[in-house]
Amino acid sequence: MAYGIKSYVLRAGRMSVAQRRSYETLSSGFCIPFTAAPLDFSRAFGNENPVTLEIGFGMGIATAMIARENPEKNYLGIEVHRPGIGRLLWEIENQGLSNIRIIEYDAVDVLGKMINDASLAGIHIFFPDPWPKKRHHKRRLIVRPFTNMLAEKLLPGAYVYMVTDWADYGDWALAELSATPGLKNPYPGFAEPQSWRPQTKFERKGLEKAHEVRELFFIKEG
């Protein structure tokens, strides 16, 4: 993916009353403004716990569930669609979560300018836009050299975990991640489902349409 090409389309999603209220009242406490300077994780979260980054959390349901089950870990979510941010903020408030922060900006710029090398315990990329038409493949997120940057941001022993319900994108991503320096696949090909990742409504809809869910789990070599 050329860095000048966006891997998403900013859709003018309609916010519900609850999402809008959550965004307006909670964003100042949980959203971090984009700046072209490295982010101090300990200052952002108020502790030294390990940080996992999620790119494109959608409505944030899985994000909140994982954060609730792992209070000793911090989760930094990147999303550009405001209704989803509002929904995740609603979940944060209603579940009393304190270990989630959000950046409303393009993931490529955030990773390149705000995230230090060798600083992340993990990277989650769940059901990214597959851009199924061949002429749009250049917009896919999981492509070198972007995957090289993902590897650079991981601590030794940390992981990148991608899930897609488009078989073609799974094959594509497996090839791109396998060719990324510093990443090792502990599986012979696609990964087994990770027991701690919750199944979402979006995923169930894909399965109902007979989509093949493919999981990729790569570890940063130390």
Q: Report CA dihedral (160, 217, 187, 154) to the nearest 10 degrees.
A: 10
**What residue has token string 């929904």?**
87
129 is catalytic: yes
CATH superfamily of the domain spanning 17-220 = Vaccinia Virus protein VP39 (3.40.50.150)
Low-confidence ranges of the chain (pLDDT < 50): 1-2
- Output the pTM of the full model: 0.92
How high is the pLDDT of residue 203?
Answer: 83
Nearest to 218 by CA among 145, 146, 166, 163: 163
Please classify residue 77 by burial: count the beta carbons closer than 10 Å to its beta carbon, then call 0-12 exposed, 13-18 middle and 19+ buried: buried
Residue 35 has a pLDDT of 97
pLDDT the model gives residue 1: 46
pLDDT tens figures, 16-37: 999 999 999 999 999 999 999 9
Catalytic residue among 106, 129, 168, 171: 129
For residues 81 and 87, give the distance between their C-alpha atoms in angstroms, rounded to a whole number: 10
For residues 147 and 135, give the distance between their C-alpha atoms in angstroms, rounded to a whole number.
Answer: 20
Domain extent listing, the chain: 17-220
Tell me the C-alpha distance between 114 and 102, whole Å: 13
Q: If we measure between CA atoms, which residue out of 164, 157, 190 comes closest to residue 50? A: 157
Bridge-based pairing of strands 214-220 and 183-184 is antiparallel
Q: Coil, helix or strand for 56?
A: coil
pLDDT at position 4: 55
Please choose, from the candidates 131, 77, 130, the residue with its C-alpha nearest in 3D space to the C-alpha of residue 107.
77
Alpha-helical runs (H) found in the chain: 17-30, 41-45, 61-69, 82-95, 107-114, 146-153, 167-178, 201-208
Residue 10 has a pLDDT of 60
